[in-house]
Chain A
């Protein structure tokens, strides 16, 4: 049984679906106006296909990743799909999540996104939220903080990461066609990645 992870993913999906228009509008400014629509389509399918009866955390995340790969359609499909599938490998067979487990899963997810997108920090992508979030999370748990303590710090860093994306020009993806004209706009991927972390934080606090 994996009721908690299923409930948490459902909350992530609902948040993304609720923010479909917001994410799409952000993407209209600098991309191809499909981020919210695509992610909402993907998570609608994720909520349908995953189940509280899936055997463990890894199994739910693997199914989430595969579903995103085949339903999102745009670049966020292979990026988020790979992220969830890499996290799934780390959490295979687990039915509880320690602070260290979450760190390892987030590390694997980020490595997956970097491999797939061939991107670094500072290119106006979701990595500008996720990498600082991982660093802040790791620092907090290294000094004895809990999973929730770490996530509080991770979310603060991820929010700062969104602000940082407003100050830089995109060099990856469709937004890179705009060059310096992309400055001033926040990155939709960094925004949806931050939303994801915030939902996990609120779910675990709840």
Chain B
């Protein structure tokens, strides 16, 4: 099953999103939160993110979703830190809440990396209010 890593500056946001995905995709055990700093401060930590990617990987690859600005930079750094590990890992360009839900549902259905990334990225175009 494709793993997911949720990166946010806030540990509460990352944990909250994994709580949400657990409700919809309870069978998925590889959705890992990597929010905030080790000491609880706001921020992102590339080393913790790379550990989360290893934890989320069961061999089918890992999709990373990140929140703002430096969250993306830390996630990219985390992926580089895995150089030498045999993990297929990609960063999805998607809103973090909607993208995580779509990715979790797609992953839990047993779809591959490309399908999970596409599901996450499609949420960028979804209108929330139809008037």
Chain A interface residues (CB < 8 Å from chain B) = 38, 41, 66, 69-75, 77-79, 81-82, 116-117, 173-174
Is B47 in contact with A78, judged by CB distance below 8 angstroms? no
Is A79 in contact with B73, judged by CB distance below 8 angstroms? yes
Q: Which of these binds chain A: B14-22, B25-33, B38-46, B55-63?
A: B38-46
Nearest Cβ distance between residue A202 and chain B, in whole angstroms? Answer: 30
B106 beta carbon closer than 8 Å to chain A: no
Is A38 in contact with B43, judged by CB distance below 8 angstroms? yes
Chain B interface residues (CB < 8 Å from chain A) = 9, 37-38, 41-48, 69-70, 73-74, 76-77, 81
Report Cα–Cα, A186/B69, bound state, in Å.
21
Is A77 in contact with B74, judged by CB distance below 8 angstroms? yes
Subset of 9 A-B contacts with CB under 8 Å: A41-B41, A66-B47, A71-B38, A73-B9, A73-B42, A75-B73, A77-B44, A81-B46, A82-B77
A173 in complex: contacting residue of B38, B42, B44, B69, CB < 8 Å = B69
Is A73 in contact with B37, judged by CB distance below 8 angstroms? yes
Chain B residue with the shortest CB-CB distance to A76: B70
- Most chain B C-beta atoms within 10 Å of own C-beta, residue among A66, A75, A173: A75
* Chain A residues within an 8 Å CB radius of B47: 66, 69-70
Nearest Cβ distance between residue B80 and chain A, in whole angstroms? Answer: 8
* Chain B residues within an 8 Å CB radius of A75: 69-70, 73
* Chain B residues within an 8 Å CB radius of A174: 69
Nearest Cβ distance between residue B8 and chain A, in whole angstroms? Answer: 12
Report Cα–Cα, A69/B46, bound state, in Å.
6
Report Cα–Cα, A62/B76, bound state, in Å.
18
Nearest Cβ distance between residue B35 and chain A, in whole angstroms? Answer: 12
* Chain B residues within an 8 Å CB radius of A116: 73, 76-77
Given contacts A69-B46, A72-B43, 12 further A-B contacts (CB under 8 A): A41-B41, A69-B45, A69-B74, A71-B45, A77-B43, A77-B44, A78-B46, A78-B74, A78-B76, A116-B73, A116-B77, A174-B69
Chain A residue with the shortest CB-CB distance to B74: A78
* Chain A residues within an 8 Å CB radius of B48: 70
* Chain A residues within an 8 Å CB radius of B76: 78, 116
Chain A residue with the shortest CB-CB distance to B43: A73
Give 10 nearest A-B pairs by CB, closest first.
Answer: A73-B43, A75-B70, A70-B47, A78-B73, A69-B46, A78-B77, A70-B45, A78-B74, A73-B37, A69-B47
* Chain A residues within an 8 Å CB radius of B44: 73, 77-78
